[in-house]
Structures are given as structure tokens and as C-alpha cells.
Amino acid sequence: MTTKDAVTVLYDHPGPKARRLNLVLTVIFGALLMLALWWVLSTLADKGQLAADKWKPFLQAGTWTTYLLPGLWATVLAAALSVVIAVPVGAALGIARLSDHAWLRRPAAAVVEFFRAIPVLILMLFAFTLWFTVFSVSSPLAGVVIALVLYNGSVIAEVVRAGILSLPRGQSEAAAAIGLSKSQMMTSVLLPQAVTVMLPALVSQLVVVLKDTALGGLLIGYVELRRAASTAASFYKNLLPTYVVVGVIYILLNVALTFAASRLERRLRNRAGRSDPGTAGAVGTGTTPLPGTSTVAAANAAAAQ
Amino acid sequence: MNFDFLSNPKYDIWGAFWVTVQLTFWAAIGSLILGTVLAAMRVAPIALMRTFSTGYVNIVRNIPLTLIIIMMSQVLYSQLGVKLATREAGVNPQAFLDTQNFRLAVLGLVLYTSTFVSEAIRSGINTVPPGQAEAARAIGLKFTQVLTIIVMPQAFRAVIAPLASVLIALTKNTTVASAIGVAEAALLMGELMENESDKFTAVFLVTALGFVVLTLPIGLILGWVARRAAVSR
């Protein structure tokens, strides 16, 4: 869909000469791709990576029940916990940042900007150590979840804030005119509308969370999918096949989430029937993914974790 | 809070952040080039190029960076024997490994970040209304003229803000290079956390401050540039 749009922006319908040129370029590019593919496959074959016994472990139930499925469960658990906690935290921070009271607005802004500016890996290391110091129990899961909540809560806060700011000003003016208090205005007029605008961006934030759980396996020893897989790989001595399988699992999960987000976006846009906010997402304020036609793309770009 | 680890010559904090900056710099240049190529393919008139670019972006973007970087070291180097640095006889092998891991980390960051660069550029091109190109063609401009005089100047302005976000994310993502032993800020923080565990809050604050100092100016400066360059429609 988008490619088609771009095509009409950039060039005319091809004439006979352009079509011939395109055909020649297609053949050349296809040949180059084939060459690259052949090189990759022959290198893999040379190193014995394509041998059947390297891939056979994936046909045995034990590989899955001992390593991959528990790892996948740990990944999904950490991601789900993080999202469930991060959404209310983010909503609270986002609304606090819009407050009329400076004592509430300023600290909320500071928290959001701070946690968005620092790497999740470093947050995890800190949260893990903090948890251990306070409770004297080592809990990698807590480290992962706390870090992901702090980071994604801040990102969600910005999504919520942008969602509320994107509403026409007449909404809050009308709410004030019929005598609603500020909290009534927020809960019964602004938030319900903003949620529909920002839901797709929230769903695509799930992709970021899911991928970021893999950081937990690095320094704080959370046995998520990637780390579980590397244990399996050193047992079966098939590192490359295992990582390929893990990569495919991640791709399938994330493609499904992205697909859900764009379907949701289309459905909401049709239902709301509101005029297209245009390209605000792309030209907006920089790090904030503004809702609009490109909510999903903007959110992905903004949180390119 | 006790910050005396800062003056301990055992910990090279400046050096670690300098590695972070270098990782960011080379990865940013590489992913800008690869991302532009991918975006150009994405809007090319040749269907095969579009399919390839779409496929690459959708596959690589959905794999965790951690997995990509670890694959660079454990699969590309250890299993397939791809070397990005030359090992000279008689020279300390650690120097070879350091260069090798640094370059592998940059390669992994480039492969990953270029997908986001490509998406940012493509969305920039999409912000240009078709009417602009139609009007340009109607007054008789050639394809190259449409692209260089009309579409690209407008698209470029719309691309600055999303690219700034990608650059900030890249700066933070360089911490993942610690997974393959690149001596950057996160690796040093991990080491400090172990050795100076009683001062872990101070260690965290120093590292966090380093990243705030690195990322905040990017956001402020490029945000200002983007606002100035924005095309009002």
C-alpha cells in the first residue's frame, strides 16, 4: 500500500523503454541476490552447518521441553508482567505531566526524560542489584521487569500525553463549559478518546518490550529464550541452527504483534471516522511518537530498541 | 554517596565512554548508508528490490539486537571464521580480539539500526503529497529533477526528527556490545557493580549521567533543527 503511494509520488507510469530498463535491472539484481545466497549456502555447507544432525535436535521433543519452551515462557512472562505494570504507570506519568500543578508536572517530566535517556541494560543491572540489596534475594526476573517498567512506562507516558494533546481543543473547552471538574474532564472526555488514538502505538510497544527481555540474559542472568537457547546449543553443539530457530520464533511473535497493531489501527480509524491527522507523526516533536497515520511506524522509529 | 571509584586508575571511565561514542559514530554512519540504500530499494520501480528491502527490514527489525550481536561473535566469527581484523604474529592476541569484537559489534548495530533508518526515510518520502510530484511532472521536469528539486528537499526535512530518535536509540543500544566483550560503558558498569557493590547507586548514577550527557544534546539540537526545517502544510 505504502510502496504504491511512494511509486506514484516519485515517477510516472513506465513506458516501453522504462519497462525494458526495469526488466534488465530486475535480472541483474536477481542474479546478484542468487550469487549472495549461493555464497552464504556454500560457506555454511563448507563449515558443515547444513548437516542434518545439526538440525535434528529440533525434531526431538526434549529440545523444546527442556530448553526452548521454558525460555520462551520466561520471555513472555517478563514481557507480559512488564506491560501490565508499565501501562498504568505510564498513564499516571503521562497525565501527571499534563497537570496544572507544577509540583506534579515537573517531577513527572524529570522521571520520564531521565528513564527514556538511559539504556535499558544499565537500568536492569541497577534494578537487579537494588532488589538484591533490599530483599537479600537474587531475582533476575524482578531486575528485568523493574527496568522494563521504568523505561516503557516513560515511553507510554509520552504516548499518552501525545494522545491527549492530539485531541481537538474544543473537547476540553466543551467539557469545561458543561461544568465538569478537571478530573471528570480527563476520565470521561479526554482519556476515552485518547485511548483509541494511542492503542496501536501501545500494541507496537509490545514488540519493543518483547525484544528487550533478551537483554535480561546478558548481565543479570535471566534465563529467557536467547539464553536458554545458548545452553541448548552448547549441549547439542549446533549454535547456528539454534540461533536461527530462536530468531524465527522472535520474528513470528513480533510480526504477529505488528500485524495486530496495524489491523487495530485501521479498524479504529474507520470506526472513529475522524479526519486524518496527516503526517504529524513524522514531522512532530522528535522523540515523541505522535499518533496519526504513521503511529505504528513512528512508535517503532522512536523506540528503536 | 561515595564516588571515589571515579579517581581509581583501575577504572577508565572516560575510555569506556569514548568507546561508546566511537561505536555510536561508526554504527551511525554505516546504518545511514545501508538504511538509505534500503529505503531507495523500498521505493524503487523494480518489484524484486522492493520485496528484498521489505523482507530484510521486517526480518531484521523483529530480531532482538542482543541476538544479532551475539550471533556476530559466536556464529559469524567463531563458527564461520569471518574475520574483520588481521591477526599479526607476535602481537598481543588481545589487541586483535578487541578490534575484532569492536568491528563485529559495529556490524551488528549497522545491520539492526539500518532497518529503522530505512523506515524513517521511507516515511519521510511518504510525507510528500503526490500532488507535488504531479505538479513537477506537469511543468515538464524529468524524473531526476522531480527527485532532486521537489521530492528529496521536502522529504529530507521530514526525516530529521525520526532520524534523531533513531540516533538516540542507537547510542543507548551500543550497551548491547558488552555482550561480546567490547569495553564500553555498560561493561565497565557491570565490572564496577561487582567490585564496588557497596557503591552501586553511585555507579549507576555516574553511568546514567554519562548517557544523559550523550543523548540529551542529540535530542535538543536535532529537535531544534527539525522544527526549523519542518515544512508547514
Cell 514531522 sits on residue:
A283
Stated as kind and residue range, the H or E segment containing A53 is: helix A52-55
CATH code assigned at B217: 1.10.3720.10
Nearest CB neighbour to A207, from listed B62, B211, B233: B62
Q: What angle do CA A180, A186, A187 make, to 5 degrees?
A: 95
CA distance B207 to B178: 14
Best to test chain A binding among B63, B148, B206, B221 (most A CBs inside 10 Å): B63
What mean pLDDT is reported for chain A? 84
Q: How confident is the model at residue A288, as a pLDDT?
A: 38
Nearest CB neighbour to A125, from listed B58, B164, B189: B189
In tens, the pLDDT along B107-150 reads 999 999 999 999 999 888 888 888 888 898 899 988 778 888 88
Determine the average pLDDT of the residues in A158-163.
92
Q: Which of A164-168, A292-296, B9-13 has the lowest mean pLDDT?
A: A292-296
Which residues of chain A lie closer than 8 angstroms to B164, CB-CB? Answer: 286-287
Domain A60-274: state its class.
mainly alpha
CA distance A85 to A228: 25
Q: Within a 10 A sphere around the Cβ of A232, how many other Cβ atoms?
A: 23
In tens, the pLDDT along A75-91 reads 999 999 999 999 999 99
Q: What is the dihedral of CA A181, A186, A192, A193, to 10 degrees?
A: 100
Determine the average pLDDT of the residues in A237-265.
91
> Do the chains contact at A26 and B48, CB–CB below 8 Å?
yes
Rounded to a whole number, what is the distance in Å from the CA of B217 to chain A's nearest CA? 11
* pLDDT(A2) > 80: no
Q: Within a 10 A sphere around the Cβ of B37, how many other Cβ atoms?
A: 15
> Do the chains contact at A9 and B172, CB–CB below 8 Å?
no
Which residues of chain B lie closer than 8 angstroms to A25, CB-CB? Answer: 46, 49
Query: Number of residue pairs across A and B with CB atoms under 8 Å?
Result: 235
Note down the domain range covering B162: 4-229
CA distance B218 to B106: 20
Which residues touch B44 (CB under 8 Å, ≥6 apart)? Answer: B50, B53
CA distance B134 to B127: 14
- Among candidates A150, A123, A119, which has minimal Cα distance to B169? A119
Cα→Cα distances A217→A64, A110, A144, A225, B188, Å? 18, 29, 9, 8, 17
In tens, the pLDDT along A142-160 reads 999 999 999 999 999 999 9
Which residues of chain A lie closer than 8 angstroms to B216, CB-CB? Answer: 117
Which residues touch A289 (CB under 8 Å, ≥6 apart)? Answer: A158, A159, A162, A201, A281, A295, A298, A299, A301, A302, A303
In tens, the pLDDT along A171-225 reads 999 999 999 998 899 999 998 888 888 888 888 899 999 999 999 999 898 999 9
Which residues of chain B lie closer than 8 angstroms to A287, CB-CB? Answer: 164-165, 168, 219, 223
CA distance B188 to A122: 11
Q: How confident is the model at residue A276, as a pLDDT?
A: 47
CA distance B231 to B233: 6
Q: How confident is the model at residue A294, as a pLDDT?
A: 41
Q: Taking a C-beta distance cutoff of 8 angstroms, is the pair B75, B61 a contact? A: no
CA distance A135 to A145: 16
Nearest CB neighbour to B123, from listed A9, A211, A297: A297
Count of the separate structural domains present in chain B: 1
- Please report the residues numbered 34 through 53 in chain A whose beta carbons come closer than 8 angstroms to any beta carbon of chain B: 43-44, 47, 49
3-state secondary structure of B11: coil
By the CB < 8 Å criterion, does A294 face chain B?
A: yes
Which residues of chain B lie closer than 8 angstroms to A281, CB-CB? Answer: 123
> Do the chains contact at B123 and A5, CB–CB below 8 Å?
no
Please tell me which residue of chain A has the smallest CA distance to B109: A305
